[in-house]
Amino acid sequence: MMRRIISSLAGIGVFLLICFGGHWFWPVGVTMFTLLCAREWIAVYQNCNGPAGRILNPLLTVAGACYPLALAVALGEAGRPQYPDALLAAAPIALFLLLLARYARGGPALGGLRGKNGAIAFIYIGIPLSSLILLHKLGKPGEGPWLTLGVLACVWAADTTAFLIGRKWGKNHFAPRLSPGKTTEGLIAGILGALAAGLLFGVLIGSPLAGMAAGAIAGGMAPLGDLWESALKREQNCKDFGTLMPGHGGMMDRLDSLIFVAPLATLALMALLAH
């Protein structure tokens, strides 16, 4: 537990540094995160590559991880988020929800698609997380980093309360095939924790509705993001994607919830905070 706490505090410190460090700190930092995810993905799926895939799949994985930086360059320092970019970031979530539903019914997570893991990584890692670039540019000048922090806080609250309450009082397992450790008590606690963080976030930015929307999205989608990555890991027979953060696993293990939450929260905040 102590290793987990220390890793969390270190991660939050790095996040705050790049989030509030200046214009290019954020896109470069986000791209560093996605490239670390790409590295872990390539290592986990290397045994699924055929002769051609040994080169193509890693290239596609890295190319997708670079998309957030490419989007930031295209927008420029003064560029404003556009709905087509936000919709593109959110679109892959529908596919992964369908694949998660298939897995829940007894089917494979990726199955035959594992041979095309580079294409999957392209739309699973960099595209959804490019929404963080858009989120950081939302609102009036200077508001974007605070909006980003608010959404991240909702995700952290969902993950932390679900983990703590589930570990202490969880008894009823709601998805034993997907993730045997997940309990109904933890799920409810995570939703309530995200909503509480969202309400506080909304009050601080002067829009309780926007804050509650971010909290509701985090509470509902964070567990699904976590379950989807659990399905991938069970199919590949690995406990974690990496060991970068002691007590947490790799970067993929830390960002799985955010991959599902950030695109939808960005869309919601774009609509509710339109000026």
Across the chain, the runs of DSSP E, i.e. the strands, are: none
Question: Kind and range of the H or E element at 33?
Answer: helix 25-45
- Please give the Cα distance from 185 to 153 (Å, whole number): 21
Please give the tally of structural domains in the chain.
1
**Length of the chain measured in residues:** 275
- Please give the Cα distance from 81 to 270 (Å, whole number): 8
Using DSSP, state whether 173 is helix, strand or coil: strand
CA 56 vs CA 40, 72, 84, 123, 124: distances in Å: 16, 25, 28, 15, 16
Can you give the pTM of this predicted structure? Answer: 0.92
Helix/strand/coil (H/E/C) assignment for every residue in 58-95: HHHHHHHHCHHHHHHHHHCCCCCCCHHHHHHHHHHHHH
Residue 3's pLDDT is what?
Answer: 66
Q: Which two tokens stand for residue 17?
A: 């540094």
Residue 1's pLDDT is what?
Answer: 58
- Please give the Cα distance from 160 to 154 (Å, whole number): 10
Query: Domain limits at 238?
Result: 2-272
Divide the 275 residues of the chain into consecutive groups of 10 and give the mean pLDDT of each group: 67 83 89 96 91 89 97 86 95 96 92 94 96 93 91 94 86 77 89 96 90 96 94 90 76 93 96 81
Q: Which two tokens stand for residue 274?
A: 């339109």
Residue 218's pLDDT is what?
Answer: 97
